[in-house]
Amino acid sequence: MITILQQHSAALLVALPLLFAFLTPLTAKLNAKLSKLVIFIGLALITLTAAIVSFDVFSTGTKLYVMGAELPSVAKPASLTIPVRIIFEIDAFSAFMILIAALIAVVACVYSLRFIKESTSKYYSVFFLMLAGMFGLLSTGDLFNLFVFIEVLSLASAGLIAFRHNEVESVEAAYKYLIISSLASLMILFAIGILYGQYGLLNIAALAKALRFSFVDVVALALLVSALAMKAGSVPMHFWVPDAYSRAPAAITALLVVASQACLYALFRISFTLFGAFPLIQLIAWAIIILGLLSMFVGVTMALPQKDIKRLMAYHAISQTGYMLLGVGLGLLANNSAMAPFGLKAMEGGIFHIMNHAMYKSLLFLTAGAIIYATGKRNLDELSGLAKKMPFTTIFFIIGAAAIAGLPPTNGFASKLLIYESAYMFNPLFSIIAMIVSVLTLVSFVKVFCAAFLGPELKELADVKEVPKSMLLAMLLLAFFVLLFGLFPSFVVKTIVEPAANALLNQAAYIGAVL
C-alpha cells in the first residue's frame, strides 16, 4: 500500500482530490454521516500523499511522474528526442509549495467543520476540486496542463467565493474574479499557442532548452508574466483581491491566499525556469521588483482607511505579496552576477515569506471570520470590547498581527529581516520602503486591535460568545506554526527554504531531469 502510494504519489496528488470531489456529494445523497467520514478520509489521504511527495523530493531530489508510461520515472523512450507524454515534475520549490497548500487545506477543513452549516457536501466537493487545481498547478511540468489546472483552480475558487449566494455582494465578487481570471488564463493560452507554434513543444523543460528568444517569444513572456501577476493579485490588477477575499467564507479566503501564491509559483517558474537563459531577463526582474514595490505601497495605503475588517486584511495581503515579489525579483536580478550571494539571500527571504504569509494571513483571516461568526458584524465601527468575550481569538489575532507587521519572535520577522538585509545591498531605498510599509502595517493592525478588541463593551454585543472549539483548534494550529517558525527560522531556512531557492535558480537541473 505504502509503496504504491509512494510510487504514484505525484499522480495521486491530483487524482485523489478529484475522486473525493466526486464522492462527497454522492455519499451525501445516501447518508450525511457517511459523507462526513468520506471527507475526513479524503483529506487525510491527500495530506498523507502531499507529505510523502514533499518528503521524497526533499530527501532524494526532483521527482518525475510520466502519465501512461511503463515506468513513471522515465521521461521518454530512448527512441525519441523530445518528451511526448504528460509529465509531472516536482522539484524542491514545488514540494515546498505543496507542503504549504496541504497545511492550509487541513486548517481550512477543520475550521469549516462548524463554520459552514448549510450545503456542506457541495462546499467540500468544490473545496476538493480547488485542491486538485492547486496541486496540479504546483506539480505539472507541462505548459498546457498549467493552463488547465489554473482554470480548474479559478473555476472552483469562483464557485466558493459565491458560496454565500444569498448575499449579492459575494456573487458580484465571484463574477469580478471570474472575469479577471478567465482573461488571465486566455492570455496564458495565447502565449502557449505562440510558443507551441514555433517549437512544437509543450513541456517546460524541453521548451526551456529549445527557446531562441525571438521577438514573439518575448511577446509570449510578457503575456505570461502579466497574466500571472494579475492572478497573483499584484498591483495594477489587484482590484479583484479585496472583493474576493472579503466576501468568500473565511476558510476559503485562507485557501485563496494559497491559490494566489500558487499563481506566484507559476510566475516564478516561468521567469526562472522557462526563460532563465533569456539575455534580457534583467528587464523581467526589474518589472517584478517594481510590481513588488508598488504592491507593497499601494496595498498598505489602501488598507489604512478601510472599515470592513476582512477588506482591510485583503489589502494587506496585496501589500505582503509585494515582499515576495521584491525578494524573488532581486534573486532573478542577481542571478549569475557578482551579487548572486545577496540575490540568493533575498530569494530565500521572498520564498520563506511565501510560507509565512500563508500561515499568518490565513490566521488573521480566520480570526476575522471568527469575529464575523460570533457577532455577525464586519464593520470596525460596530465592533468593540471583544477581548473579554473572545479571549482566545484575541490572542490569535495578536500573534497574527505581530507576524504581519514583522515583529519578533514571529515568522514574519524572520523572513522580512532576510529581505531587508539583502535588499539593502542592492539599493537602500528598497529596504527603506519595505520597512515603512511594515510600520504602516503595524499602525493599521493596532487600529483594528483597538477598535475591535479594546474599548467599552457594547450592548448589542452583550451575548457574544467565544467561537466553537474546532475553529479555535484551526487557529491554534496556525498560531503554533507562526511562533515555531519565528523561534527557529534558521532550521526551516536550511531544511526547506534553501533547497527551494536553489531549485528555482538551477535551471539546468530542471531541464536535465527530463531530457
Partner 1 sequence: MIENIHFIAVALLIALGIYTLIFKRNLIKIAMGISILASGINLFLISLGYRAQGIAPIFTNAAIAASEVQAKMVLPAPQALTLTSIVISLAVTALMLSFAIIIYQKTGSLDATKSRRLKG
Residue ranges that bind partner 1, judged by CB under 8 A: 144, 147-148, 151, 155, 158-159, 162, 165, 168-169, 171-176, 178-179, 182-183, 186, 189-190, 192-193, 196-197, 200, 202, 242-243, 247, 302, 306
Specify whether the CB–CB gap between 110 and 477 falls below 8 A: yes
For the CB of residue 382, give the shortest distance to partner 1 in the complex, in Å.
Answer: 18
Q: Nearest distance from residue 213's CB to partner 1, in Å?
A: 20
Whose CA is closest to 329, among 430, 436, 432? 430
Cis check for the bond before 456: say yes or no (omega within 30 of 0): no
- Rounded CA separation 434/238 (Å): 19
135 CB burial (10 A radius; 0-12, 13-18, 19+): buried
Q: Alpha-carbon distance 24 to 21, whole Å?
A: 6
Give the shortest CB-352-to-partner 1 separation in angstroms.
Answer: 32
Instruction: State in angstroms the smallest separation of the CB of 156 from partner 1.
Output: 10
Cα distances from 92 to residues 59, 177, 269, 351, in angstroms, run 10, 30, 12, 12
Alpha helix positions (H), 335-390 = 340-375, 386-389
- How far is CA 52 from its chain centroid? 20
Work out how close the CB of 162 gets to partner 1 at its nearest, in angstroms, rounded to a whole number: 6
Q: Is the Cβ of residue 242 or residue 489 nearer to partner 1 in the bound state?
A: 242
Cβ distance to partner 1 smaller for residue 201 or 285: 201
Positive or negative CA dihedral for 46, 362, 430, 266?
Answer: positive
Torsions phi, psi of 373, nearest 5? Answer: -65, -45
List C-alpha distances in Å: 397 to 176, 360, 412. Answer: 29, 9, 14
Query: At 66, phi and psi to the nearest 5?
Result: -105, 120
Of 245 and 510, nearer to partner 1 (C-beta) is 245
Query: At closest approach, how far in Å is the CB of 64 from partner 1?
Result: 20
Q: Which three cell numbers stand for residue 508?
A: 539546468
Shortest Å, Cβ 244 to partner 1:
9
Q: How far is CA 50 from the centre of its chain?
A: 15
- Nearest to partner 1 of 173, 364 (CB atom): 173
Q: Which is nearer to partner 1, 148 or 435 (CB)?
A: 148
Q: Which is nearer to partner 1, 173 or 332 (CB)?
A: 173
Q: Are 17 and 62 in contact (CB under 8 A)?
A: no
Cβ closest to partner 1, residue 174 vs residue 475: 174
Q: In angstroms, what is the minimal distance from the CB of 495 to partner 1?
A: 38
Nearer to partner 1, 169 or 460 (CB): 169
Helix, strand or coil for residue 145? helix
C-alpha 323/C-alpha 354 separation (Å) is 9
Q: Which three cell numbers stand for residue 222?
A: 510578457
Q: Which is nearer to partner 1, 17 or 242 (CB)?
A: 242
Question: Least separation, in Å, of the C-beta of 173 and partner 1?
Answer: 6
Q: Please give the DSSP secondary-structure letter assigned to residue 453.
A: I
* Nearest-angstrom CA–CA distance, 362 and 482: 11
Q: Which three cell numbers stand for residue 28?
A: 451525501
For partner 1, the closer of residues 174 and 296 by Cβ is 174
Least Å distance between CB 67 and partner 1?
Answer: 14
